[in-house]
């Protein structure tokens, strides 16, 4: 890159001489402390320095200071940082739940989908538990999107030179991150122990830098000698006993106690200290964002005379070499993947080689790789290759074995379970997986599903299941055991997924066995922008089975989401199902309410040949926090049931209001219902249901 560097040097000289007297003011270095969302005060500090024309020669950040500092160093203005914070949904970013707000009955609904395993076995055979309450994968993905405007190898090449401080969990030593992925550096620096998983970087397991240097003045002095260092301290003060009310408060208080010594040691070495008023603000509370930013502004303006004096006596900001935006891709490399996954990634993106680097393509590719079943997280970095760049994808794989425990209970119907769910990966080949789920309760069930490949568009799926069901319907008690096996070829293209297969079933009821087999089909289109709090898009799902080539059984469901305002959502769902009341002793009929199509009929579903239903809900988000949200919904719905002659013989409706607490630690809902039978019910739901495959075997 010699020619490009020479051109940069010439341009620098031109700019220096053209700048005239305005260039006389020197630069300052910022040391930004950690402090959770209290670190939003850093934006106010940056905003005032920007308005006053104070050049920034470098930024060193710890934890939240590394996030705000890293984005500012990437070229984000203070106004853009305000926009980023305003659009940030911390609840969803911290949520480890992958249970969507609406799940159609399908193969994807037979297993709970928590991302935090209770027990896991690594590739080396070691048994491990969760290393933190939250994996932080969503945060990494968001950081990668925000940092994608910069194509750099070293953080010195950013608009403002930058470094992030983390702690080596094995040795307890300070780690200063200055190269590689900016998103990874920010994610590692804010890995608060017990709350977030440690983050692997360069063979080290890193946690929050606040443990060793929560206010990184010493590092700033070492990296930028000769420049005055302004320390911005938002580490906060100790809470009163009455303010310690949650696990996060305990962790926050413990970290403040633990980091106070290193903050006191380093703050004395700063040339100037800015201490915004952040007392009393929880570490994961964005509701005080405006107040915190304003606090940062006010504290900076109070010290502006001293800041100007420092800048006027400081050396000028050093001119930096910048990586040419027109660099092309020299090669694709992969770290952390199996040989098979590495080969697939290289083959998929080798057409990039020789073409200009595209940040949009990088973010999209990371998302595509991360969607594979055996991948936990994906990041990327660049390395110089002459005048061009090598692209390196850094892959974190899921553990070979994960086991989760959970349950579901309600007072409205008898379907209550305790379940164990597991995934075994790399069983026969790299990337294959075996999922299993066992539930016990008033009914029982066992499911196993084997996928030959983590790529949804190239996978065969083999399924085995055994289920016991008992329903108290309007036509009497239905009880049966169902055993099934099937094979499916999966396909995927864009937002569509599909599968064609063949399935066998045996239903045992009333002492008689009913056997059937036939082709199966499923089709899914998913354009929801978020699975847990969608504000736009739709989800359509169709599944069908043709037992003995006689009558096709199918079920189609549709879900639509819309954002009405920051705190209001509108949801609409509808469905149609076709059964066969005359087959398998009547146990292939449809049952309106059995899968909570209408909540008030879940304990006494309506049996028929086919059914149609719809629901509409207005959701108001009352409160959001790191652990989830508190919502209220006003909803209503109707259902129509037809007999085997095609006559609509039963209409039903319900309306109600509910309060729900969806979160990664707890899922609960309290519901008040009224229906067409003038029946008023109060119901509660705890946990996530595991319904099964219906109508597929």
pLDDT digits (tens, 9 = 90+) for 541-555: 999 999 999 999 999
Per-residue pLDDT at 20: 39
Kindly write down the DSSP assignment for every residue of 531-559, as one continuous string: SSS--S-EEEEEEEE-GGGTS-EEEEEEE
Per-residue pLDDT at 627: 61
Closest CA to 113 of 127, 95, 125: 95
Per-residue pLDDT at 3: 46
Per-residue pLDDT at 93: 66
Lowest-confidence segment of 63-67, 107-111, 140-144 by average pLDDT: 107-111
Instruction: Kindly report the three-state secondary structure assignment for every residue of 45-87.
Output: HHHHHHHHCCCEEEEEEECHHHHHHHHHHCCCCHHHHHHHHHC
- Phi first, then psi: give them for residue 549, nearest 5 degrees: 55, 35
Helix (H, G, I), strand (E, B) or coil at 130: coil
Q: Which domains does the chain have, with CATH numbers?
A: 28-96+155-313 (3.40.1090.10), 328-397 (3.10.20.310), 458-463+474-686 (2.40.160.50)
Lowest-confidence segment of 6-20, 91-105, 135-149, 673-687 by average pLDDT: 6-20
585 vs 478: CA distance, rounded Å? 9
pLDDT at 605 over 70: yes
CB-CB contact of 76 with 84 (8 Å): yes
377 in the Ramachandran plot: left (φ > 0), alpha (ψ -120 to 50) or beta? beta
pLDDT bracket for residue 1 (50, 70, 90): very low
385: which 2 tokens? 């290759």
CB-CB contact of 159 with 73 (8 Å): yes
The string of pLDDT tens digits covering residues 640-683 is 999 988 899 999 999 999 998 766 556 788 999 999 999 999 99
pLDDT at 486 over 90: yes
**Spatial CB neighbours of 100, under 8 Å, sequence gap ≥ 6:** 528, 531, 532, 539
Helix (H, G, I), strand (E, B) or coil at 499: strand
More confident residue, 372 or 16: 372
28 vs 317: CA distance, rounded Å? 8
pLDDT bracket for residue 429 (50, 70, 90): confident
349 vs 363: CA distance, rounded Å? 13
Could you tell me the maximum CA-CA distance found in the chain, to the nearest angstrom? Answer: 97
Instruction: Kindly report the three-state secondary structure assignment for every residue of 435-497.
Output: EEEEEEECCCEEEEEEECCCCHHHCEEEEEEEEEEEEEECCEEEEEEEEEEEEEEEEEECCEE
Task: Tell me the residue length of the chain.
Answer: 697
Dihedral angle computed from the Cα positions of residues 12, 15, 16 and 19, in that order, rounded to the nearest 10 degrees: -160
Question: Kind and range of the H or E element at 4?
Answer: helix 2-19
Q: How far is residue 420 from each of residues 108, 402, 467, 694, measured CA to CA in Å?
A: 16, 11, 15, 21
The strand pairing partners of 650, in sequence order, are 641
Report CA torsion sign: 30, 35, 39, 45: negative
Query: Is 63 a catalytic site residue?
Result: yes
pLDDT at 250 over 90: no
**156, 197, 208, 533: which is the annotated catalytic residue?**
208
Per-residue pLDDT at 621: 84
pLDDT bracket for residue 390 (50, 70, 90): very high
Per-residue pLDDT at 503: 95
Closest CA to 586 of 613, 607, 556: 607
Dihedral angle computed from the Cα positions of residues 276, 277, 283 and 286, in that order, rounded to the nearest 10 degrees: -90
116 vs 136: CA distance, rounded Å? 11
Lowest-confidence segment of 238-252, 399-413, 444-458, 479-493 by average pLDDT: 238-252
Lowest-confidence segment of 93-97, 136-140, 442-446 by average pLDDT: 93-97
CB-CB contact of 552 with 540 (8 Å): no
- Mean pLDDT throughout 137-165? 87
Going through 579-609 in order, the beta strands assigned E by DSSP cover: 590-592, 606-608
- Mean pLDDT throughout 285-303? 89
447: which 2 tokens? 């499911």
Per-residue pLDDT at 368: 86
Question: Kind and range of the H or E element at 564?
Answer: none
The strand pairing partners of 547, in sequence order, are none
Q: How far is residue 564 from each of residues 102, 153, 584, 618, measured CA to CA in Å?
A: 19, 42, 46, 9
pLDDT at 346 over 80: yes
| Helix 137-147, helix 359-370: angle, nearest 10 | 170
586 vs 580: CA distance, rounded Å? 7
Under DSSP, the state recorded for 350 is G
pLDDT at 13 over 60: no
CB-CB contact of 526 with 539 (8 Å): yes
The string of pLDDT tens digits covering residues 54-85 is 999 999 999 999 999 999 999 999 999 998 88
pLDDT at 23 over 70: no
Mean pLDDT in the chain?
85
pLDDT bracket for residue 405 (50, 70, 90): confident
pLDDT bracket for residue 297 (50, 70, 90): very high
| Helix 64-73, helix 78-86: angle, nearest 10 | 130
| Helix 78-86, helix 41-52: angle, nearest 10 | 150
Alpha helices in 74-136 (DSSP H): 78-86, 90-94
Q: How far is CA 520 from the centre of its chain?
A: 32
331 vs 101: CA distance, rounded Å? 41
Closest CA to 467 of 436, 488, 439: 439
CB-CB contact of 175 with 165 (8 Å): yes
Lowest-confidence segment of 106-115, 134-143, 297-306, 613-622 by average pLDDT: 106-115
Lowest-confidence segment of 1-10, 317-326, 646-655, 660-669 by average pLDDT: 1-10
Q: How far is CA 540 from the centre of its chain?
A: 22
| Angle, vertex CA 689, rays to CA 685 and CA 691, nearest 5 | 140
CB-CB contact of 182 with 150 (8 Å): yes
pLDDT bracket for residue 107 (50, 70, 90): very low
Q: How far is residue 303 from each of residues 253, 275, 299, 559, 568, measured CA to CA in Å?
A: 29, 10, 7, 54, 42
Per-residue pLDDT at 665: 59
Per-residue pLDDT at 11: 39
pLDDT at 89 over 80: no
61 vs 495: CA distance, rounded Å? 39
pLDDT at 10 over 50: no
Per-residue pLDDT at 498: 93
Under DSSP, the state recorded for 33 is P
14: which 2 tokens? 């031109």
Helix (H, G, I), strand (E, B) or coil at 686: strand
Per-residue pLDDT at 94: 65
Alpha helices in 313-376 (DSSP H): 339-349, 359-370
Per-residue pLDDT at 245: 66
């Amino acid at each position: 890159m010699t020619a490009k560097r020479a051109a940069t040097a010439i341009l620098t000289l031109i700019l220096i001489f053209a700048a005239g007297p305005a260039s006389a003011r020197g630069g300052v270095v910022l040391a930004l402390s950690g402090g959770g969302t209290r670190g939003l005060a850093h934006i106010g500090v940056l905003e005032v320095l920007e308005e006053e024309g104070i050049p920034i020669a470098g930024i060193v950040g710890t934890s939240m200071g590394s996030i705000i500092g890293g984005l500012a160093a990437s070229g984000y203005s203070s106004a853009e940082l305000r926009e980023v914070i305003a659009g940030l949904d911390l609840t969803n970013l911290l949520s480890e739940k992958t249970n969507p707000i609406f799940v159609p009955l399908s193969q994807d609904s037979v297993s709970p989908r928590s991302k935090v395993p209770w027990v896991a076995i690594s590739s080396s055979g070691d048994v491990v538990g969760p290393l933190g309450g939250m994996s932080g994968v969503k945060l990494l993905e968001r950081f990668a999107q925000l940092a994608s405007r910069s194509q750099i190898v070293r953080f010195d090449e950013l608009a403002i030179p930058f470094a992030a401080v983390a702690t080596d969990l094995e040795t307890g030593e300070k780690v200063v991150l200055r190269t590689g992925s900016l998103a990874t550096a920010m994610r590692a620096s804010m890995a608060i122990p017990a709350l977030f998983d440690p983050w692997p970087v360069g063979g080290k397991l890193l946690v929050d830098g606040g443990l060793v240097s929560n206010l990184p003045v010493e590092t700033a002095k070492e990296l930028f000698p000769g420049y005055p260092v302004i320390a911005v301290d938002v580490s906060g003060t100790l809470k009163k006993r009455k303010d310690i009310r949650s696990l996060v408060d305990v962790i926050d208080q413990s970290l403040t106690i633990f980091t106070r010594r290193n903050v006191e040691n380093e703050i004395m070495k700063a040339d100037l200290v800015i201490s915004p008023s952040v007392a009393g603000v929880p570490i994961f509370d964005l509701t005080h964002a405006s107040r915190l930013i304003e606090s940062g502004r006010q504290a900076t303006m109070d010290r502006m005379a001293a800041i100007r004096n420092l800048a006027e006596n400081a050396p000028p900001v050093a001119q930096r070499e910048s990586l040419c935006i027109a660099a092309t891709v020299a090669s694709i490399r992969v770290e952390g993947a199996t040989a098979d996954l590495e080969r697939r990634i290289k083959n998929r993106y080798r057409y990039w080689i020789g073409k200009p680097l595209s940040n949009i393509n990088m973010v999209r590719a990371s998302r595509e790789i991360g969607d594979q079943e055996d991948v936990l997280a994906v990041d990327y970095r660049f390395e110089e290759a002459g005048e061009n760049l090598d692209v390196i994808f850094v892959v974190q794989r899921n553990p070979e074995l994960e086991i989760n425990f959970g349950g579901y209970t309600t007072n409205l119907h008898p379907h209550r379970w305790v379940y164990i769910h597991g995934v075994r990966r790399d069983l026969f080949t790299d990337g294959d997986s075996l999922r299993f789920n066992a539930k016990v309760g008033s009914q029982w069930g066992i499911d196993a599903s084997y996928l030959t490949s983590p790529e949804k568009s190239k996978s065969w799926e083999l399924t085995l299941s055994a289920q016991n069901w008992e329903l108290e319907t309007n036509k009497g008690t239905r009880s049966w055991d169902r055993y099934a096996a099937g094979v499916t070829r999966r396909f995927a293209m864009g937002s569509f997924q599909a599968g064609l297969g063949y399935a066998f079933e045996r239903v045992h009821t009333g002492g008689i066995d009913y056997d059937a087999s036939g082709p199966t089909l499923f089709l899914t289109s998913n354009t929801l922008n978020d699975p847990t709090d969608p504000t736009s898009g739709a989800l359509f799902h169709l599944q069908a089975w043709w037992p003995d080539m006689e009558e096709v059984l199918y079920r189609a469901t549709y879900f639509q989401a819309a954002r009405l305002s920051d705190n209001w959502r509108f949801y609409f769902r509808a469905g149609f199902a076709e059964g066969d009341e005359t087959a398998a002793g009547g146990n292939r009929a449809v049952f309106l309410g059995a899968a909570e199509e209408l909540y008030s009929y879940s304990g006494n579903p309506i049996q028929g040949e086919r059914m149609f239903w719809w629901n509409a809900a207005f959701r108001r988000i009352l409160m959001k926090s790191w652990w989830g949200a508190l919502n209220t919904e006003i909803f209503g719905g109707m259902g129509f049931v037809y007999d085997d002659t095609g006559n609509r013989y039963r209409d039903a409706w319900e309306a109600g209001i509910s309060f729900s607490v969806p979160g990664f630690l707890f899922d609960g809902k309290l519901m008040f219902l009224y229906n067409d039978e003038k029946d008023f019910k109060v119901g509660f739901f705890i946990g996530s249901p595991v319904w099964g495959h219906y109508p597929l075997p």
